[in-house]
Structure 1
């Protein structure tokens, strides 16, 4: 579970908060979609949850560990896939995965089993002996997903994880997200594709100008609006105001 309490962040000397007094949670056993227009504060929020950026105010607790006060313990709880897969390009795919397994102290037998399983599901087995610089964007994205999940974290945090994936790999990742949540774990992922959120999420959190303007089920969201408004129109309505 991830719990945010009165979390705020301001950059530079600006009085405008990039993230403003966020209080919400990502419960176990569920998939939460994090949705908002460009510049709304999604990336800043995810960076604070994962410890890349320190909040100015408030607390973020992951499975009972405060990300600021207990950074190592908190970071062991989750796997994070950022929005850019262009990392460690000079390494071979298998070298990157072994590095990830070393960081998280994954035993040798378990890492081999999990690497083989994930690589097979994502169709990446034959590419692991090649350097990451030779990979397509989609292949790099799949490798980053595998690296983030090797230590079998209970919490998954994914920033636009389906971008660049081929249909088969996209389907595999969505199935894995469903399986992970069904096992009692939590998944938080950002997306700008509302149809994906509609088909995949148990909950959605909508952010606008740094504030959470809605958090709940899609049924609860639709209940706020009369008529036959589409999810896209509801989203535009909620995020079109300053």
Structure 2
């Protein structure tokens, strides 16, 4: 069975014939959580933009649920939800209206919309803010709105970029609990974050990017062997060894 997200030999960037990422190959199965980690400028955001279909690979391909974006863009994009690092909201829409617009875009009926939106608002302590406009919210609350929109539609794949920035402890815990629940129900996750201790706790496998190339990938034990580290070495220390030119 083909992995839900499959990247094969992908090179690409913002200018043709000047790739930022080079020959990337990795996959994510249903019910699996993969951490995408690297220093600033390593190519994480560029990789994510290729997955989202915002950039076209210069070599290789990206498939989601067996499809390339060129095969069927609407079906391709309906297969995932994206949480960006920086919240992007419409200032003229209330939070409830943001959620309703997302529900309409993904074909949720009214019963699904009401049930899911009310549950998510309760989980993220946002019930009293549903009829507020974005300009009245803190950055952390705006980030909660982005997360609520992504989890409202219950897609088979979540692409999440630095989700913990600005979140309060309740928001972080609520997000992690939701991720575990959806993963248990078969959803796939690609998560980019600099909080390696959290990724170490929750992720099944990792892809380590360094200067646009994969420095190592696999389980934590596989990364440890790649880095020449002892069995109990933390992900943080393994990552440091890999990006500083240690064993591979």
Name the TM-score, length of structure 1 as normaliser: 0.94
The equivalent of 2:203 in structure 1 is 201
What number of residue pairs does the alignment pair up? 241
The runs of 5 or more residues in structure 1 that have no matched partner are none
The equivalent of 2:128 in structure 1 is 126
Q: Deviations over 1:117-158 (max 9, x none)?
A: 111111111001110111111111110111122221011110
Distance 1:13 1:201, change over 3 A: closer
Structure 1 residue matching 2:81: 3-state secondary structure: strand
The equivalent of 1:178 in structure 2 is 180
The equivalent of 1:111 in structure 2 is 113
Q: What RMSD in Å do the two structures reach over aligned CA positions?
A: 1.7
User: Aligned pair 1:82/2:93, yes or no?
Assistant: no
The equivalent of 1:220 in structure 2 is 222
Structure 1 residue matching 2:48: 3-state secondary structure: helix
Once the 2 structures are TM-superposed, how far is the Cα of residue 238 of structure 1 from its aligned partner? 1.0
The answer to whether the Cα contact below 8 Å between 1:31 and 1:200 also exists between their aligned partners in 2 is yes
User: Aligned pair 1:6/2:9, yes or no?
Assistant: yes
Distance 1:13 1:204, change over 3 A: closer
The answer to whether the Cα contact below 8 Å between 1:31 and 1:178 also exists between their aligned partners in 2 is no
Find the aligned partners of 1:36 and 1:58 in 2 and give their Cα distance: 21
The answer to whether the Cα contact below 8 Å between 1:59 and 1:66 also exists between their aligned partners in 2 is yes
The answer to whether the Cα contact below 8 Å between 1:76 and 1:104 also exists between their aligned partners in 2 is yes
Structure 1 residue matching 2:171: 3-state secondary structure: helix
Structure 2 residue matching 1:139: 3-state secondary structure: helix
Kindly report which structure 2 residues correspond to 1:15-164, keeping only aligned pairs within 5 A, or say none: 15=18, 17-164=19-166
The answer to whether the Cα contact below 8 Å between 1:106 and 1:150 also exists between their aligned partners in 2 is no
Find the aligned partners of 1:214 and 1:226 in 2 and give their Cα distance: 13
The answer to whether the Cα contact below 8 Å between 1:19 and 1:44 also exists between their aligned partners in 2 is yes
Find the aligned partners of 1:85 and 1:97 in 2 and give their Cα distance: 14
The equivalent of 2:242 in structure 1 is 238
Once the 2 structures are TM-superposed, how far is the Cα of residue 86 of structure 1 from its aligned partner? 3.2
Structure 1 residue matching 2:42: 3-state secondary structure: coil
Once the 2 structures are TM-superposed, how far is the Cα of residue 101 of structure 1 from its aligned partner? 0.9
Find the aligned partners of 1:165 and 1:147 in 2 and give their Cα distance: 16
Once the 2 structures are TM-superposed, how far is the Cα of residue 241 of structure 1 from its aligned partner? 4.0
Distance 1:107 1:54, change over 3 A: same
